Structure 1
Amino acid sequence: MPTWATGSSPGRLRLPPPLQPAVTGYIHRPRALAAGTKPGPFAGARQRAFTLVELMVAIAIVGLVIAVTVPGSMRFYESIQYRQSVRDVLSALGGARQQAMDTGRAQDVLFRPREGSVEYAGETLLLPDDFTLAVTTASEVNQGAAGVIRFYPEGGSTGGDIDITAPGGRGVRIAVDWLMGGVTQVRHEQP
């Protein structure tokens, strides 16, 4: 675009110097794109796919990770079930003792080892199928095949032992004191 020279007559036009090429030599021309492709940052680069060997190695690694984590997660799940079952039984026993002292009436907790169930206050707790439940209670208060621990208003109980064992042999013995009605737990291993 022409510009007016300053300090000279307004009719005189000064032209810019002639344009010269900035780069001389090789001029990059874009390659023709194949049908259905889009230009991008790697438009000229050769695209690679995964080989069958690479895919097989990746699948083998995923398989190894799954093989290692699944058994561990199953043990973790079993451990959670075991701890929750023990907590629920302890809660039922403690609740029955407290209820007996609050209401002034005896409260019974029924244990059915064959079904793996614990009953108290109209609610039934079912242990997982592969857990074992063994009960030692006073025969005077038992109801058929169900072992019963009775809590009295003054805080005592008929006493007894409840053994809960997980499939791996890990277990706990919950002991109910007959004199004071206290509930304690001791860890034990199944022989």
Structure 2
Amino acid sequence: MTGDRTAGFTLIEAIIVLGLMALGMALLGPMVRRGTSPRDLEAFGTRVAIEARRARTESMRLNVETALVFDAPGRAFLVRPGQGRLPVPHDVTATLVTSRSMDDGERPTIRFLPDGRSSGGEVRLSLPGATAVRIAVDWLTGWPRRVTP
């Protein structure tokens, strides 16, 4: 039985192939776009509420009017004046319901006044299906709060 070897892979070749596959998955894995989970939607809703609270606080602290603006074409919430931009995840449907008289041109806007009041409004975030998050901003107190559906 000299020189008879069965065809196949050696252990070293199999380990190298598995290592290359693992390296490829590690590099390409983050590039695969996954959908937003309900937990991620909750976290994004919390971030929007925090930005609205920050806008209210800055308005009172600096004695100037600030605003939370929904830029639909840019798919982002903006805090004015120039404090921040919060991009909306690709598969989340976002709307900002306000009084029409308070819109900033064509963009829905919730304005925060230096005395703590606001124009009021509601941010609605949803995923395809039944998952939804609502943040209401009270016009009298200007305080944003989560609303349970």
Q: 1:185 aligns with which of 133, 146, 149?
A: 146
CA deviation vs aligned residue, 1:117-172 (integer Å, no higher than 9, x gap): 10014322111111111221122221233110010111000000111112232111
1:119 counterpart residue number: 78
Structure 2: gaps spanning 5 or more residues: 3-33
Which structure is larger by alpha-carbon Rg, 1 or 2?
A: 1
Tell me: CA distance 1:102–1:178, structure 2 relative to 1, closer, same or farther (3 Å).
Answer: same
Q: Give the structure 2 partner of residue 164 of structure 1.
A: 125
TM-score (norm 1): 0.55
The answer to whether the 8 A contact 2:94-2:123 is kept is yes
Gaps of 5+ in 1: 1-33, 36-73
Secondary structure class of the residue paired with 1:140 = helix
2:67 aligned with 1:108, yes or no? Answer: yes
Structure 1 consecutive aligned stretches of length 4 or more whose deviation exceeds 2 Å: 112-116
* TM-fit CA distance, 1:115: 4.1
Which amino acid is 1:101 matched to? Answer: M
Report 1:145-156 matches (<5 A): 145-156=106-117
Q: Which amino acid aligns with 2:107?
A: A
**Letter of the 2:138 counterpart:** D
Q: Is the 8 A contact 1:116 1:131 kept in 2?
A: no
- C-alpha root-mean-square deviation of aligned residues, in Å? 2.1
Greater relative contact order (CA < 8 Å, ≥ 6 in sequence): 2
Give the SS at the match of 2:100. coil
Pairs aligned (count): 117
After TM superposition, list the pairs within 5 Å mapping 1:53-68 onto structure 2: none
Conserved? CA contact 2:41–2:133, under 8 Å: no
Q: CA deviation at 1:88?
A: 1.4
